[in-house]
Amino acid sequence: MIKQKEIILNHYPRGFHIITKEITNNLDLPDMGILNLFIHHTSAGLTVNENYDSTVLDDFETVFNKMVPENMPYYTHTIEGPDDMPAHIKSTLVGNSVTIPITNGKLNLGTWQGIYLCEFRDGGRRRKVVATIYY
Amino acid sequence: MIKQKEIILNHYPRGFHIITKEITNNLDLPDMGILNLFIHHTSAGLTVNENYDSTVLDDFETVFNKMVPENMPYYTHTIEGPDDMPAHIKSTLVGNSVTIPITNGKLNLGTWQGIYLCEFRDGGRRRKVVATIYY
Amino acid sequence: MIKQKEIILNHYPRGFHIITKEITNNLDLPDMGILNLFIHHTSAGLTVNENYDSTVLDDFETVFNKMVPENMPYYTHTIEGPDDMPAHIKSTLVGNSVTIPITNGKLNLGTWQGIYLCEFRDGGRRRKVVATIYY
């Protein structure tokens, strides 16, 4: 069996943000299954990483800005601002979807794992995620 | 329920290419479900990103070549040419599979999202993708 | 239908390791379906890449250490050692889950494809993977 739900996330500023609770609050999880989250945008991403220490989130933002710097002379897609093309690259590096097992009615994440929204635009709006559960 | 189909893509030169239509022309999509595309190669990849402006595709090629440069003295796997080992790294950075929700009989992509074939070899041949749909 | 199994992998040192056989030895694959592997950690990852030449594995370790160097002055999350924050970044670059089609009772991998455990910590312990099969 399969079910789907569209979730409009709260607004988040540029950076990496833990959204595990916001996602699970919007879902009715089966006993066993799989959750796929798919973000509807090309300048944001989803990943699973450390859920405890906020310095990890800060360092993610720092490192991704160093890996994919803005305002480099080799960009040709510049009409949407200096953060736009780097945002597309970062989105593909991180990925725009995560797939997470569901066990005993809960997301089967490790102790230190949480779901991240990766917001790569300075002026990003509220982001849409399609949740698909098969069980 | 589940169904599978093997798709042999057209030939594409090195670079990033939008293949959304080529994929959907090969598939009979159910009303609701999930599509997984899995590429059968280790020097190409699949991702979802911006589908409108071809300068985005050009900049992806430029940036990935800067992130994973060829002919560096630290490569030891060099017998298949200077583009081979960088192609393996890029394939893992991008990913070799995408999972996309299906809603109302269509791929539930954002307005600006398309499926990319990322061809990392100079002399890449036609690539094979396994499409699995569960519904 | 869906089934799940938790797999505790053997211990591997820091680096990239092929675990295809270790995974399939632990699973009873259906005739057709999909396998999702999800690693329960934020300093290791899973990917699919070249399964033949061990120099590829060595070069992966070299290149990822260059892309995400240790001991840089901009890291603020340093309490768990110099390899910890780079391990989190690498885990998101590689991804913590892979989805692989199953066809004719076998993983439908390309000839040269294998499943990699990417161990990013110096002192990583045995890693837990949740395998979910839907068929």
Domain boundaries, chain B: 2-134
Question: Is the CB of B66 less than 8 angstroms away from the CB of A85?
Answer: no
Q: Using CA coordinates, name the residue in chain B closest to C53.
A: B77
Question: Is the CB of B134 less than 8 angstroms away from the CB of C58?
Answer: no
pLDDT value at C124 more than 90: no
CATH number, domain B2-134: 2.60.120.460
Query: Could you tell me the CA-to-CA distances from C11 to A5, A116, B4, C43, C44 in Å, in that order?
Result: 39, 28, 35, 14, 12
Question: Is the CB of A130 less than 8 angstroms away from the CB of B49?
Answer: no
Q: What is the length of chain C? A: 135
The yes/no answer to whether this complex scores an ipTM above 0.85 is yes
Predicted local distance difference test score (pLDDT) of residue C108: 98
Report chain A residues whose CB lies below 8 A from the CB of C75: 59, 62
Question: Is the CB of A55 less than 8 angstroms away from the CB of C77?
Answer: yes
Question: Is the CB of C42 less than 8 angstroms away from the CB of A67?
Answer: no
CATH number, domain A2-8+23-134: 2.60.120.460
> Do C37 and C115 form a contact (C-beta atoms < 8 A)?
yes
Predicted local distance difference test score (pLDDT) of residue C64: 98
Q: How far is A51 from chain B (nearest CA, A)?
A: 22
- The continuous run of DSSP H or E covering A116 comes out as strand A113-119
> Which DSSP state fits C71?
S
**With a threshold of 0.90, does the pTM exceed it?**
yes
Question: Is the CB of B93 less than 8 angstroms away from the CB of A95?
Answer: no
Q: Which two tokens stand for residue B50?
A: 């911006």
Report chain A residues whose CB lies below 8 A from the CB of C67: 67
Report chain C residues whose CB lies below 8 A from the CB of A49: 42, 88, 91-92, 96
In which order are the strands placed within the sheet that holds A106-107?
Answer: A2-8, A128-134, A32-39, A97-103, A106-107
Give the burial string for B2-30 (b: 16+ CB within 10 Å, else e). Answer: bebeebebeebebebbbbbebbeeebebb
Q: Using CA coordinates, name the residue in chain B closest to C45.
A: B92
Nearest in space to A119 (alpha carbons), one of A54, A35, A51, A57: A57
Mean pLDDT on A42-57: 97
Cross-strand bridge partners of residue B6: B130
Mean pLDDT on C58-76: 98
pLDDT tens digits for A64-123? 999 999 999 999 999 999 999 999 999 999 999 999 999 999 999 999 999 999 999 998
